[in-house]
Amino acid sequence: MFNLFLDDAAALVVVLPLLISAIITFMPSKIWPWIISLVTLVLHLVLSLHLLKEISISGLIIYEFGNWEPPWGISFKIDGVNIGLQLLFSIFALISTFYSRKIFLSEIDSRDSGKAYSLWLLAIGSLNGIILTNDIFNLFVFLEISALASISLIALGAGQNRKALLAAFNYLIIGAIGATFYVIGVGFAYAMTGTLNMNDLVIQLAQYSDGQLAIFAGMSFMLIGLMVKAAIFPVHIWLPPAYSYAPSAVSTLLAALATKTILYFFVRLLYEVFIIYPSYLSLFLDFVLYPLSLLAIFIGTLIAIYQDDIKKLLAFSSIAQIGYITLAFSLEDHSGITSGFIHIFNHALIKGGLFMAVGYFAILQKDRVTLTSLKGFGYKYPITSFALLICGLSLIGLPLTNGFISKLYLFQALYTNQMYFSIALVAVSSALAVAYFWKIVEQMWFSEIKFKLEKEDAYIYLPIWIITVSIIVFGIYSSPIIEFSNLSADYLISGYQN
């Protein structure tokens, strides 16, 4: 029975959350939706670990839905590129679900608990689909499901602040534009090649070896659509309000996982499919992605410095951090892709931890967390504050934290590509990150008012500290993350050489 369950692990990691999501929608209970979600995600983790085991044996799993062979049927593909991400996704989804309960209880109407967790699982399932799918149209479907789920989740923040509705609506419109761009691109590709399967697409595209305007147009549409979804500067504007007005648990999930999965697919599309047009690819990377990444890093950091609202500050910092990732991916070689993946992992942990801590502060003071409202929190809530401090130091990239490892590998990649200007810019912007982060620390510990120690909730600080400890552990013992990222880069690079 259990073996049967494991045989379909590749499909179940996506289908299971989606199924359970439908079941718990109408559950009136306050606590059961959470427990069921938690059990689902434990199973999800078991499945992911099973996939890891399979991959370490066979190296590649293609799961064909309904035994329809590709290129006709929909298929999932798990290989070295996405297994690391799958594992991170699974673990972080579990931790943030554990964290979410108390946050949801105080931020949304308790009668909505069932609906909230239904959407929560819907988002998790569909985002996981983005990681696994091997079909460009199927990706569009998952993109839409995840967008609708996260928009509804963001709108749940309206109980706290009505602006959440506006943010959700913004995301809806801009996200829909992005998705439309993507699906237009898919249409072009389908018209030219008659296939939607990514592996088949590569083969079919090879017949237009000298390139075709329609193909290039389609590719451009797809890339721009994904850029909107991944919040790459300057099409990022939906992200800051969405992250900052969403309920705190939702911000955590989205900030850590949503853009990361889309970035992953973005790079997969670039280096697995579009690589057969090297001139188009390097045109896009050198003249679009690279300058935009630099702008994202610099402008995102600068805007973050002037934010008063902490969640907004973190959201703008995310824009900059996404810039680091796309900068690495734009380098078009093994070291660049590796460092991009390393930062996907590390930044998911760092930003997840930061949003968790700030989210906890938001429900503690029952108001938005602004700089001034953080006064004395270091004395009031030392456990969470200290975790926030460590996550922040990692965001700056100080040694002994995983942020440093990211920075080290990014520098190495830039150095081997002789991009000295980018090195200087990255160095400056990481120093600027001190400016916005230290404003928070100063308020928390060095403002004039002192508070008495208050009790903190172990259900909330436990997941925060799991993340925080992992930040330090992966800063010292970095080889798991580096090996997974190396593996991803190996697969992507060797994929196009064959």
Residues that bind other proteins (CB under 8 A): 396-400, 405, 407-408, 411-412, 415, 423-424, 427-428, 430-431, 434-435, 438, 442, 445-448, 476-478
Report the residue number, 171 or 324, with the smaller CB distance to other proteins.
324
Residue 295 C-beta: closest distance to other proteins, Å: 19
Residue 300 C-beta: closest distance to other proteins, Å: 17
Report the residue number, 196 or 374, with the smaller CB distance to other proteins.
374
Residue 257 C-beta: closest distance to other proteins, Å: 27
Torsion angle of alpha carbons 185, 140, 225, 242, nearest 10°? Answer: 170
Report the residue number, 52 or 398, with the smaller CB distance to other proteins.
398
Residue 308 C-beta: closest distance to other proteins, Å: 17
* Inter-CA distances, 83 with 90, 119, 206, 286, 373, Å: 11, 25, 27, 28, 41
Residue 425 C-beta: closest distance to other proteins, Å: 10
Report the residue number, 378 or 495, with the smaller CB distance to other proteins.
378
Report the residue number, 193 or 478, with the smaller CB distance to other proteins.
478
Residue 449 C-beta: closest distance to other proteins, Å: 10
Nearest to 285 by CA among 267, 312, 258, 306: 267
Report the residue number, 373 or 412, with the smaller CB distance to other proteins.
412
Q: Answer yes or no: are the C-beta atoms of 218 and 188 closer than 8 Å.
A: yes
- Bridge partners (DSSP) of residue 60 are 79
Report the residue number, 139 or 482, with the smaller CB distance to other proteins.
482
Work out the angle at residue 108's Cα, subtended by the Cα atoms of residues 313 and 178, and round it to the nearest 5 degrees.
Answer: 55
Amino acid identity at 444: M
Residue 73 C-beta: closest distance to other proteins, Å: 44
